[in-house]
Amino acid sequence: MQIGIVGLGKMGGNISIRLTRHGHDVVAFDRDPTVTAKVCDQAEGKRCTPATGLADMVGKLSGRKVVWLMLPAGKVTEAAVQELGGLLGKGDIVIDGGNSFYKDDIRRAAELMKKGIHYIDVGTSGGVWGLERGYCMMYGGTKDATDYIDPILSALAPGIGDIPRTPNRDKPGFDPRAEQGYLHCGPAGSGHFVKMVHNGIEYGIMQAFAEGFDVMKSKNSTELPEDQRFELNMADIAEVWRRGSVVSSWLLDLSARALAGNPDLSNYKGDVADSGEGRWTIEAAIEEAVPVPVITASLFTRFRSRTGNNFAEKMLSAMRFGFGGHIEGTNN
């Protein structure tokens, strides 16, 4: 299958390469032509064709045209969607694989459908590891359009792998694609809504790990009675928790890796950004009158981290860099 990929950063480039490894043809474009050239050089079997812009890309696509945007949420993505709306035709498909606000997806889908163009929002999780591990994807759109791009999504998904199957999933009513790592959630907007809540939950889990490790690291405080002070090894604790613990997880794996490399995490300032999804999750909770105290507190902690920080914030920075390559002081 042929697809255009716009935005070849940490995830867009790897998505392009992974698709070529699974036999798909990619027309790639990034505003930096050297990035485009690098991705095409790494593609499998010369299956990647560089483009100089959106118009050039659309011109190089044949048949029912599919363009996947992997751009920062906001004005950049909005401008690309609007431009594609003037370049594509009836039956063509625009995919937004970034972290756009789900209400923007609903609006864009309605606007493009007036021209017969389909819009699919794909919440994409996997970070910088997706090239090898695959991407967990939650997506929304019409059945016709989502069925058409299923070969693309199947190639990007991690597959069932070695994760034990959940009992009773052979009953009617369950989508078999879910255990492959991708799921059609509903109409346009639903994919990014589910990914938004996923990221809100991620905030809370990360915050719990960060606070717990900070409590343990501070157990040697001179403010405590001498016989109650412990010198605890954070790297060893993270490692032992990875082995059979109830809290074992990928985030704990990343924490263990960071602590083994630098136990004091002195390579991090602890200036923790938020990329939007946590705020949007809280806004949705307010609209629905659903209490989310953990997610709210974790977001406010990120705000506070920018005016002074501690070991907990360094833990958060280390986890964010581990799964997504996020650089402190930026939303990237």
Q: Which of 195, 217, 277, 328 is catalytic?
A: 195
Helix axes 190-217 and 234-241, enclosed angle (nearest 10): 130
Quickly list H helices, 123-233.
130-133, 143-148, 150-156, 190-217
Are the beta carbons of 255 and 213 closer than 8 angstroms? yes
Residue type, 16: S
Is residue 265 classed as helix, strand or coil in its secondary structure? coil
Q: Which of 65, 202, 277, 328 is catalytic?
A: 202
CA atoms of 19 and 29, how far apart (whole Å): 15
Question: Does 202 participate in catalysis according to the annotation?
Answer: yes
Q: How many CB atoms are located within 10 Å of the residue 78 CB?
A: 16
* CB-facing half-sphere around the CA of 268: CA atoms within 13 A: 32
Which backbone phi and psi does 185 adopt, to 5 degrees? -85, -25
- What burial class does residue 322 get, using C-beta atoms within 10 Å of its C-beta: 0-12 exposed, 13-18 middle, 19+ buried? buried
In the DSSP assignment, the letter for residue 23 is: T
* Residues annotated catalytic, as ranges: 195, 202
